[in-house]
Amino acid sequence: VEESYTWFYEGRNGWWQYDERTDAELEESYRANKRTFELLIAGYVYVIDLDSMLQYRRSDPSRRRRIKRDLVGAAKKGIAGLKIK
């Protein structure tokens, strides 16, 4: 079902799940077929590009991270920088 998918951004050696609020905003924009939009994440404006599946800080587009929409159970490092054991 639809609830079994969630959003991840890339870390050094694995994927981090987005925080719940950002996940909801990503999913809403994804379902509305938005391609490029901005989100406030941890106090910074990030550009989300769903054509390239990348995120980057608006003020520093050179540092890009891959993002993905994957099953909730996919391997991850943690959620929004909070590690899971």
Decide if residue 61 touches ligand V3L (CB under 6 A). no
3-state secondary structure of 23: helix
Examine residue 81 and tell whether it contacts ligand V3L (CB under 6 A): yes
Q: Which of 74, 82, 55 is nearest to 4 (CA)?
A: 74
Is residue 76 close enough to count as binding ligand V3L by CB under 6 A? Answer: no
- Which residue from 8, 17, 18, 25 is in contact with ligand V3L, where contact means CB under 6 A? 18
Least Å distance, CB 62 to ligand V3L, is 9
Contact 7, 66 (CB under 8 A): no
